[in-house]
Amino acid sequence: MNEILIALVGMFLLAALVSIPFLVQVWRTVKEMATTLQILNRDLPVIMKNLEEISTNVNRTTTTIHREVAELSLTLRRVQGIAGIFLGVTDVLAHRMKFPLVRTVTNSLAVFKGVRAFMGVLTERCPDQDRGQGNL
């Protein structure tokens, strides 16, 4: 029985010797974690304050952008409404007029040129003389 007891004590001592490097590493890790925790406790309030300021600025910017987009949208709707009214009025006027305005102006210019040429012939003046080409 003494041999079993000696074997058990030996195995216990061997397990203790093998676990010493593991326990030292755990001790170092705990010390480093304590240092990290102290740094976090010291710097975390400043970081949280900065994050809160950033969040506030982002919220303000988002609100401003939403307001500007809404105003721009309203302005564009007004412009579209005015353009729609203008196009509607031009359509109504175009259908009510017998001749389009451009055609009337073109015909009036042609008539004016014809009358001018006729008056030139009546007054014995050739239309080509007006251009400096002389009599042919």
Q: What is the DSSP string of 40-86?
A: HHHHHHHHHHHHHHHHHHHHHHHHHHHHHHHHHHHHHHHHHHHHHHH
Burial 53-70 (b: 16+ CB within 10 A, else e): eeeeeeeeeeeeeeeeee
pLDDT (mean) for 71-98: 82
Q: What φ, ψ does residue 46 adopt, rounded to 5°? A: -65, -45
Helix (H, G, I), strand (E, B) or coil at 123: coil
Q: Which amino acid is at 106?
A: T
135 touches 128 (CB < 8 A): yes
128 touches 136 (CB < 8 A): yes
* Total number of domains constituting the chain: 2
Query: What are the CA-CA distances from residue 83 to residues 8, 72, 78, 121, 127 (Å)?
Result: 100, 16, 9, 50, 46
Is residue 114 in a domain?
yes
- pLDDT over threshold 70, residue 33: yes
Is residue 104 in a domain?
yes
Task: Mark whether 65 and 105 lie in a shared domain.
Answer: no
128 or 13: which carries more pLDDT confidence?
13
> Percentage of the chain surpassing pLDDT 90?
41
Is residue 45 in a domain?
yes
Burial 17-40 (b: 16+ CB within 10 A, else e): eeeeeeeeeeeeeeeeeeeeeeee
pLDDT (mean) for 95-99: 63
**Least confident span in 2-16, 51-65, 91-105:** 91-105
Task: Mark whether 65 and 104 lie in a shared domain.
Answer: no
Could you tell me the residue range of the domain that residue 58 belongs to? Answer: 2-70
pLDDT for the residue 60: 97
Domain end point (choices 25, 53, 70): 70
pLDDT band with cut points at 50, 70 and 90 for residue 94: low
pLDDT (mean) for 101-129: 78
For the entire predicted model, the pTM comes to 0.43
Is residue 16 in a domain?
yes
- pLDDT over threshold 60, residue 99: no
- Within 13 Å, how many C-alpha atoms sit on residue 116's CB side? 9
- pLDDT over threshold 50, residue 136: no
Is residue 120 in a domain?
yes
Is residue 92 in a domain?
no
